Amino acid sequence: MSAFCSVSLDPPLVLVCVDERSETHAGFQASGLFGVSVLAEGQDDVSRLFARPGPEKFSQLRMSRGAHGVSLVPGALAHLECAARASHVAGDHVIYVGEILTLAVRAGRPLVYHRGAYRRLSGEAE
């Protein structure tokens, strides 16, 4: 996914942008569901793995399953399971708007990628 953001609080909606050539896009279309895992600081290796093209990344990491059967990254700070409510073609990507079905959050610091490198948030309490 190349973008993720909040859309609405009521109902709770988020959007994701997915390359229509990716194997993930085929899964979105087939199931109508998608998961978002907000990675934690120290999960750089997972971020790099999922930045690579190709389906083999899914066999290199044992994923967990959410209440709706969606694949989620173990150890992430947050897990969202969403039902696709709308899709919009935008160039070589598809923008999916999803309604949040389940949300799980744990304490920790997020993985931050900015200006070509992984970074730490400063001034944030542990």
Q: Read off the CATH number of the domain in which 14 is found.
A: 2.30.110.10
Task: Domain count for the chain, please give it.
Answer: 1
Which residue pairs, CB below 8 angstroms and at least 24 apart, start in 86-90? 89/20, 90/17
Tell me, yes or no, whether 102 lies in a domain: yes
Q: Give yes or no for a contact between 72 and 66, defined as CB atoms under 8 angstroms apart.
A: yes
| pTM to 2 decimal places | 0.86
The model's pLDDT over 68-86, given as tens digits with 9 standing for 90+, comes to 999 899 999 999 999 999 9
57, pLDDT greater than 80: no
Tell me, yes or no, whether 126 lies in a domain: no
Tell me, yes or no, whether 124 lies in a domain: no
Domain that holds residue 60: 3-116
Tell me, yes or no, whether 36 lies in a domain: yes
Residue whose tokens read 């200006």? 115
